[in-house]
Amino acid sequence: MQDVAVLDYRAPSLAANSISTHFSGDREAAVVLDVACGTGLVAQQTKRHGFGHFVGIDGSQAMLEVARESGLYQDLKQCMLGEGQLPVQWGLFDVVVIVGALNNNISVKILFGKCKHVFSSLHQHHDNLQYKASLERELKQMEEEGHGGIPENELRTCAD
């Protein structure tokens, strides 16, 4: 965790701020799915905004152990993104957040159509600008095809 502090990794706090700004429901009752939760940095920041119910998914058992020790998560599951469906019961989540993990190998369809509010972060570099454009096209196509009636503004992205 010190490594990310040294690097001034702001994505978790930017995502938490974005969630806080755009989520209008009951924060205390809201359930947040933290996809690629890592050690729990996003949950730590989001808790500061009044959220308290977190479910985490990550591919690394070592990261999940650190997240478990934080005491913030009600449930943690190991799963590699891009390898099938996520091991969660959809319909339980008010917010889905994914920080530092969306890339060309991850289809946004694993998240959308499942939850109304999805928040993500994308690193600011050339490859991700192309990916963001691709992501926006995929969301637009999903909306046109009627997958969950996703309004364009429901994906909130923040740059770290």
Task: Please answer whether residues 112 and 150 qualify as being in contact, where contact means their C-beta atoms are separated by less than 8 angstroms.
Answer: yes
Does the pLDDT of residue 152 top 50, yes or no?
no
Q: What is the mean pLDDT of residues 2-31?
A: 77
Joined together, the tokens standing for residue 149 give 């009636």
Average pLDDT, stretch 10-20?
A: 86
What is this structure's pTM? 0.73
Sorted by where each begins, the domain ranges of the chain are: 2-82+95-159
CA 110-115-119 angle, to 5 degrees, is 80
- Alpha carbon distance 31, 102 (integer Å): 21
Q: Which residue is it, tokens 């991850």?
A: 106
Around Cβ 44, how many Cβ atoms within 10 Å?
17
Average pLDDT over the chain reads: 75
CATH code 1.10.3470 for 2-82+95-159: no
Residue range 84-140, pLDDT digits in tens: 777 788 778 888 888 876 555 555 555 555 555 566 555 555 556 666 676 677 667
pLDDT for res 146: 60
- Specify the pLDDT at position 111: 58
- What pLDDT does 50 receive? 96
Tokens of 133: 């454009």
C-alpha distances out from residue 50 to 25, 45, 143, Å: 11, 10, 31
**Pair 85, 111: CB distance under 8 Å:** no
Predicted local distance difference test score (pLDDT) of residue 72: 97
